[in-house]
Chains A and B, each alone.
Chain A
Amino acid sequence: MASILIYLVIGLPWIGALLVWLAGDKRTTVQHILAILFSVASGIAAVALLFNTSSTTVINLDAGGVFGQFTFVADGLAVFLAVVATVIGSLAVIFSVDYMHGEKSLGRYYAMVLFFIGGMAGLVLTSNLLLMFFFWEITALCSYALIAFHNDDPKAVAGGIKALIITQLGGVGLLAGALLLFSQTGSYDFNRMIADPGIIDPRILSGMAFGCLVAAAAKSAQFPFQTWLPDAMEAPTPISALIHAATMVNAGVYLLARFFPAFKGVPGWTTAVILVGMISAILTAIMALVANDLKRVLAYSTVSQLGYMVFAIGCGGVYASQFHLFSHSIFKALLFLAAGAVIHSVGTRDMRQMGALGKQMPLTRFVFVIGSLALAGIPVLNGFWSKELVLEAGLQHGPIWAYAFMLLSAGLTAFYTFRMVYMVFYGKPSSEKHVHDAQPAMKVALIPLAAGALLSWLLAGPFSSLLHNSLPAHEIHAITTTEVLMEVLAAPATYIALAVVALGLIAWWQRQHLGGVAHAFRWLTAAAENSFGFEAVNAGIVRLTLGAAQKLRTTQTGLLNWNIAGLLIAFIAVILILVVRG
């Protein structure tokens, strides 16, 4: 049963992709219908898979030789992420019906989205590290193709290529990890390693651990690879919601969570993970304070929230991190889709050109505010519970300075969230244009997500038992929802955090009176606007490479004599090497 469902979850979107592509751009209605049908079907299959979880391998295809056994496992972690990918994927597809209405090359769009959904499901469901790498690359490829979807726009193309190259560079870390695993154990099945990390030489294990951290940081846009995600916002907004908020960027967190039992013993690894998460969380929270592009603010906040999850893993809170991932997928997809409805109707992403949109778009405002409250960590929305769990884990198991920084960024989160809501929906109107509220298909996608943001925390108990039952190595305790709630409410961390969040809100309220403070931190905002120099470093590396390439071109002189000279130089070099080595 489980094996059939896995085939369906991965295969249905891919078949759908092919059919949409074959349908051709002249039959757009057929394309819309096909895309919805196949994504929803895959979502249903994934939900059905929730009731068939186990920690044993359910599919095993022998690819032979150096390609190993293509294995799939439907354990809790995998199935939960597959559900997120397919369900939010279906909602994004439904949202696209209105959002992408009248776009050219719709076939390419839907085919890539569906291909992505299947790839993401495969990425989490497989237990073969090589196969995981395949799916990893597939998701990167789809993300690239969709960021560069409007490829008449040089910014979109540049953003796409940047995302592709950075995630691919990170992919090298995963590739090295897979190669090391295979050369050590003769198989790519990582569950063996997770169950017993001792089978691998400690030095090799440490190489794998840090390789995976690099891969995860690149994929989840964590420090120091965070620069690609804001640029990826050139993608159509449903894509930002699906790929760059709810699913693909979580792959890095998933990777760390998956391998946590194996790597936690590696010296320095957990500290490195904590550092990566903390720096990402705080830096991008500051950047979100000063950004004026609506989608960029959301992108920075995504990086920041992913930082929370990474931090939680570093502190040993796998459950907290996954629960926050769950909440975040819902409220961030909601925020992005609602932002998409705003952008679609206003026609700009610059928040300075918005304002007072609330009256004209009541429904959008309503859901956006719900998402924002969840993001800011206001009780009783889902973001509150999961963020508190993360902070609690940090207080209990992490270093205190890291916890302090995480608290600070919780405050900042509240601040920039309210700034964003105010700039978009309240304040003074900045344009006389008539805007319309979300269209029907958009509503279909927004309302379930809003409901999710309000209520998904009720699933905390079942979620923990799901992870507990099928992930023996992760040592996650099964607790009921009430226990979770009690734990959160009883912990002092919660009240500290709430106080900080309230401080952030007060700071926002009293922003006029805080002019002096803002002035004092002028240098910080200036640095944040320049993304703390990371863009410059990126540009420098690109310039260096291109410069080297340009310099190297002079070696191809086009003069025959030099070509012959090259021949002789090689001859001399080789003969000298051989004579010296004997």
Chain B
Amino acid sequence: MTTIPYIDMLTVMIVFGIGLYTLLITRNLIKVVIALQILVKAGMIALVLAGRINGQVMTGQSIALTVIVADTIVAVIALALAVQVKKHHGTVDLDKLRNLKG
């Protein structure tokens, strides 16, 4: 079982990187929300893995549950905001969503 940290830790890092790259590169608000979800997946795996590494699986699990709840709510709010943005700006393109600057 010693290979678990290798693979899982690597997954966490790569998935995190993918999520951040998306946040930097995408111009679509929905994609941004998807990227946030991907980031959270990485965080969740990392937390459960951490619990597993030091033998406290239960703590890791209960933490991950809270994370799921919290980030689902954030995702839902983000989506609701995106819907409103579409309604009032007519687009979800981030490049058009920059009235506030300077």
Contact = CB atoms under 8 A, between A and B. Distances in A.
B23 interface: yes
Nearest to A554: B102
Nearest to A565: B24
Interface stretch (B41-49, B54-62, B67-75, B93-101): B93-101
A560 interface: yes
A559 B95 contact: yes
A568 B24 CA distance: 10
A564 B102 contact: no
A557 interface: yes
A272 B20 CA distance: 58
Contacts of A565: 24
A558 interface: yes
A85 B24 CA distance: 63
Given A553-B102, A554-B102, A560 B20 contact: no
B32 interface: yes
Interface residues of A, number: 11
B101 A561 contact: no
A560 B102 contact: no
Interface residues of B, number: 15
Given A564-B23, A565-B24, A568-B20, A558 B32 contact: no
A561 B102 contact: no
Contact of B98 (A553, A554, A557, A564): A557
Interface in B9-63: 20, 23-27, 32
B23 A558 contact: no
A558 B99 CA distance: 7
Nearest to B26: A561
A560 B94 contact: yes
A556 interface: yes
B32 A560 contact: yes
A564 to B, nearest CB: 5
A559 B23 contact: no
A556 B101 contact: yes
Q: Which of A557, A560, A565 has the most CB of B within 10 A?
A: A560
Contacts of B97: 560
A574 to B, nearest CB: 16
Contacts of B32: 560
B25 A561 contact: yes
A558 B24 contact: no
Interface in A545-571: 553-554, 556-561, 564-565, 568
A557 B98 CA distance: 8
Q: Which of B24, B25, B26 has the most CB of A within 10 A?
A: B24
A109 to B, nearest CB: 38
Contact of A564 (B20, B99, B100, B101): B20
Interface in A244-277: none
Contacts of A558: 98-102
Nearest to B25: A561
Contacts of A561: 23-27, 94
Given A558-B101, A560-B32, A564-B20, 7 more contacts: A553-B101, A553-B102, A554-B102, A556-B102, A558-B99, A559-B98, A560-B23
Interface of A: 553-554, 556-561, 564-565, 568
Interface of B: 20, 23-27, 32, 94-95, 97-102
Chain A to chain B: the 4 pairs with minimum beta-carbon distance, closest first: A558-B101, A558-B98, A553-B102, A564-B23
